Structure 1
Amino acid sequence: MSTPLAQSFRADLSRLEQMGALHRIRKATDPRYEISGLLWLRRTGPAQLFEHVRGCAMPVAGNVLNSRQRIATLLGVTEASLPGHLKDILSRSLPPVVVEDGPVQEMVHDDRPDLAALLPVPTWFEHETGPYITAGVIIARDPETGRRNVSIARIRLDGGARIMVGIARNHHLNILAEKAAAMNTTLPIAVSIGNCASVLIGSQLYLGLGDDEFDSVGALLGEPLRLVRCRTVPLEVPAEAEIVLEGHIDARDQVEEKTVSEFHGFYAHYGFGTGGEIRCVTTRRSPIYQAILPGFAPEHCLIGAVAIEAVCLRLLQGLIPCVRRVVVTEGGMGRLHAIIVMHRPRPGEAKRAIILAMGQVNLLKHVIAVDDDIDPENPMEVEWSIAARFRGDQDLLVLPGMKADRADPVHENLTITKVGIVACRRPGDGERGGNSERVRIPANVLATLQEKLEHY
């Protein structure tokens, strides 16, 4: 990637429109269920830009990163090179730079603004208890070390300037909030909405606590991410974002969340979330609000899936060089199922890769290992591989009582049975005259026919 990528969300939308991958909706749309309904009905199609949202002057954009091809395009790489690109980014660092001003601060709304009146935040599903910000990149600093943390968590509007943030206990943001609470103080946060693809994907990379995700964003962009200082909190935010909320959260302020949607497409009941307040909102002069359809929807699943793939691929290739690729499937909700592609693994290596992947990413619970003659994104080929190469008495791993993520739809007391399937060839399989020799048409005949296919 020689030319740095654009750092603005609107540049990404312009790119999609030039490609014919942006659909403008000019009909007035209600943010209560209509936006979610239309994003769901068009979940695999072009990005959707709602130009007229009832009750707010801001347009809303969604379904922007709803395919691997779309993610790759907006990151400036081919779809085939995306997995390796993201894996390599984990080993690179390009720290951000602070600039004096940026378009995200062209307009200022301070003194605890009424968020519901200012922003077109959708109400997504019928049993949720309020509208949720779903594409807000949250920036915070460790109150002990000062190290930056960048992540995404759902944010419910609770009236006026009040918010509730739904954060898992092991989420780095929750760890920072609890540190602040132990120091008898709140945790300053800034929420960046309307971000380029590099910021969104970079925020999802599995880094260690204390590692700065904005360093990885710079590597994705090909140049340092430009940040501006917030007006009311000691944080810096992407200068070319559309909207920024400045405020704090307080781990001592526990707010009941009740019913909320999750990536698996079911409602979840997590109990209490973390309360907070927004004191200032800055925006571009004509901002575009970015939304990600939550639940079991492609964009929601994929932005997590590609990050999990990268961290697994990096780990596995470092230990087992014959690993070629890791795919976290959409059918597995972008979190729970993975396919590991291997080149002639030695006996025991496939089982080792499966166990390592499950240990690295707590969410993974069903993992299949296949050979590199199988397309991991083609469910028919993966199923064929299981039918042709899997021996139930030798190739099945059943690991009961493993730690589960709280979001797993069938966990019991935060444990789950994890299952691995080895669907790889044995040494000697596929050799001439063997039981597993695949039928083939002569390669030269196929190549000639392919070149002249339109004549037949």
Structure 2
Amino acid sequence: MRSFLATLEQRGELHRVIREVDSRFEIASVLSLRDRGPAQLFEDVRGHTMPVVGNLYNNRQRYALALGIDAAELDAFCLSALRAPIKPLLVDRAPVQEVTHKPPFDVGALLPVPHWFEKEGGPYITAGVIIAKDPETRRRNVSIARLRLEGGQRMMAGIAKNHHLAQLAEKAKRLGRDLEIAIAIGNHAAVLLGSQLYLDLGDDEFDTAGALLGEPIELVRCRTVDVEVPAHAEIVIEGRLRPDDLIDEGAVSEFPGFYVYYGPGIGVDVTCITHRKSALYQAILPGYAAEHCLMGAVSIGATLTRDLQRAIPAVKRVVITDGGMGRLHAVISMRRPRLGEGKRAILLAMGCVNLLKLVIAVEDDVEPDDWQQVEWSLAARFRGHEDLIVLPGVKADRCDPVHEDLVVTKIGMVATTRPGDGEPGGRSEFVKPPSDIYESVRRQLDDY
């Protein structure tokens, strides 16, 4: 993360906030008002010596820059990483363990965790990558979930029931155990993206993160729990998730931008905190914010592309849209799909990703992340009487803002060409100058 911050500063994309700020709502307000602007480094947080950094990865170009690729290559790069994982490397010493804090301590006194929104019950760690192991197989799981400070060495983890981490906690409960976890804060983009991929339970997300990084992720053993963490993170919180210890969460923000009420979360007892000397605390603005939505969108798009291509080779790319909160809307790019393949791709996408409720299929001559082109495709190629799919009463995710009893109506729209479209004399033949003149001008365009 530090090398990426240095790159951003060289490019004029890192803004240093030198005035004192309060972690209670003031950091949240600045990040919100500068949601899509430069990364923000808060150098002087009241009551703390540790700076806070946010809005790091609030556009696709930033992810591409961190991974050393062009922005246009991001989706294909993530897809190739899924197919060629690189296993992590265990090391004996790590920057993230330069300083160690043993109990007793107060997590909120050691770390400048922001309080984000007015009705939430406390400050939340939002960029904490949680590492746990299956209590039986010892296979790693890497993910992100909400972590609220409860005072002292106590935290609450808000975990969706269908997430793998919740399944591991439930397995530990059946075995009569706690679940050992570690939370890494201040990570490279490869680790953040890897943590969000829709992999199978038992697949190690650090393997794909290594492929994104282009080399093995270096891991180090924790001090007090049997878990390995990124050696080059800024901060690690070690602890135990106690499945029988339920804590009412109350109102909490979610990606649609609303408060939701999910009921109880699970208690966490912190056993140790390690960090770098002069550590930086990374925060991600939650709710309907660019960085929060985009992290999920990039990862979901990559894994969904992989899954659809296994069944339909005509699928070229899947984009999870910003307007759809990085979760609920998708555009599928297809290369000359056969009749009916557009609908099939839409239905498969909804089956693979429970969150999706609006899916549009377009030809690959349309950029799926350019909404003007997608809308043009709907205007030029969509026939409502045969290309509209309406599926009422479909199982939805609890995050969906309009679900009723966990069901919603899902919609698909096929905006692809038909056989004969675009051919000479056809209804969709594109207008263009003579190709020889057009290509000559294109090659010399800078001279005009």
Category of TM-score, reference length = shorter chain: over 0.9
User: Residue 94 of structure 2: which of 102, 119, 122 is its match?
Assistant: 102
Q: Over the residues paired in the alignment, what is the CA RMSD in angstroms?
A: 1.3
2:162 alignment counterpart: 170
Tell me the CA shift for residue 82 of structure 1: 1.1
2:110 is aligned with 1:154? no
- TM superposition shift of 1:431: 2.1
How far does residue 451 in structure 1 lie from its aligned partner after superposition?
Answer: 5.6
2:35 corresponds to 1:43: yes
> Matched residue of 1:35: which SS?
helix
Aligned counterpart in structure 2 of residue 363 of structure 1, from 355, 375, 379: 355
Alpha-carbon distance in structure 1 between the residues aligned to 2:204 and 2:370: 35
Q: State the 1:238 CA deviation.
A: 0.8
Amino acid at match of 1:261: S
1:134 — aligned with what?
A: 126
Query: Per-residue CA shift, 1:324-357, capped at 9, x if unaligned?
Result: 1111000000000000011111100000011111
Gaps of 5+ in 2: none
Q: CA deviation at 1:448?
A: 4.6
Cα shift at 1:32: 1.1
Report the counterpart of residue 319 of structure 1 in structure 2. Answer: 311
CA distance in structure 1 between the partners assigned to 2:408 and 2:299 by the alignment? 23
Q: What is the distance in 2 between the residues matched to 1:376 and 1:93?
A: 27
Q: Partners of 2:272 and 2:433 in 1: how far apart?
A: 67
Corresponding residue of 1:406: 398
Q: 1:381 aligns with which of 373, 381, 389?
A: 373
Q: How does 1:420-435 map to 2 (within 5 A)?
A: 420-435=412-427
> Out of 94, 103, 113, which is 1:111 matched to?
103
- Counterpart of 1:300 in structure 2 is 292
**2:194 is matched with which residue?**
202
Conservation of the 8 A alpha-carbon contact between 1:205 and 1:307: yes
Q: Across the two proteins, how many residue pairs are aligned to each other?
A: 448
Q: Which residue does 1:4 correspond to in 2? A: none
CA distance in 2, matches of 1:444, 1:26: 57
Which deviates more from structure 2 when the two are superposed, residues 272-281 or residues 86-95?
86-95
Structure 1 distance, partners of 2:156, 2:435, is 61
Which amino acid in 1 is paired with 2:420?
G
Q: 1:52 to 1:446 in 2, by over 3 A?
A: farther
Q: Which residue of 1 aligns with 2:20?
A: 28
Q: Does the alignment pair 1:418 with 2:410?
A: yes
Corresponding position of 1:6: none
CA spacing shift, 1:112–1:142, aligned 2, 3 Å? farther
User: In the alignment, is the contact (CA less than 8 A) between 1:192 and 1:242 conserved in 2?
Assistant: yes
Does the C-alpha gap of structure 1 residues 34 and 447 become closer, same or farther in structure 2, counting only changes over 3 Å?
Answer: farther
1:226 counterpart residue number: 218
For residue 88 of structure 1, what is the aligned residue in structure 2? 80
The AA in structure 2 aligned to 1:388 is A
Distance 1:455 1:132, change over 3 A: same
Q: 1:76 aligns with which of 68, 71, 79?
A: 68
Report the equivalent of 2:262: 270
Between the aligned partners of 2:207 and 2:430, the Cα distance in structure 1 is: 47
Query: In the aligned structure 1, how far is the partner of 2:330 from the partner of 2:155?
Result: 35
Q: Name whichever of 314-323 and 285-294 sits farther off.
A: 314-323
Shift of 1:183: 1.5
Shift of 1:440: 2.0
Inter-partner Cα distance in structure 2 for 1:25 and 1:186: 41
In 2, distance between residues paired with 1:345 and 1:168?
A: 36
2 CA distance for matches of 1:362 and 1:416? 11
Q: Aligned pair in 2 of structure 1 residues 393, 188: CA closer, same or farther (>3 Å)? A: same
TM-score, normalised to structure 2, is 0.97
1:172 deviates by: 0.7
Checking the alignment, whether the CA contact within 8 Å between 1:112 and 1:280 is kept in structure 2 is no
State the alpha-carbon separation in 1 of the partners of residues 401 and 128 from structure 2. Answer: 25
Structure 1 residues 181 and 43, CA, compared in 2 at 3 Å: closer, same or farther?
Answer: same
Q: Distance in 2 between matches of 1:224 and 1:156?
A: 31
Match of 2:252 in 1: 260
Tell me if structure 2 keeps the 8 A contact 1:113–1:281: no
State the SS of the aligned residue for 1:215.
Answer: helix
8 Å CA contact retained: 1:58, 1:119? yes
Per the alignment, in what secondary structure is the counterpart of residue 61 of structure 1? strand
Q: Secondary structure at the match of 2:377?
A: helix
Secondary structure of 1:268's counterpart equals: strand
Residue in structure 2 matched with residue 184 of structure 1 by the alignment: 176
What is the DSSP-based 3-state SS (H/G/I as helix, E as strand, rest coil) of the residue aligned with 1:158? strand
TM superposition score normalised by structure 1: 0.96
Shift of 1:452: 5.8
- 1:136-182: CA deviation from partner (whole Å, max 9, x where unpaired): 00011111111111100010001111100110111111111111111
In 2: Cα distance, 1:363 partner to 1:92 partner: 27
Q: Deviations over 1:360-399 (max 9, x none)?
A: 1111110000111111111111111111111111001111
Report the counterpart of residue 5 of structure 1 in structure 2: none
Structure 1 residue 231 displacement after superposition: 0.8
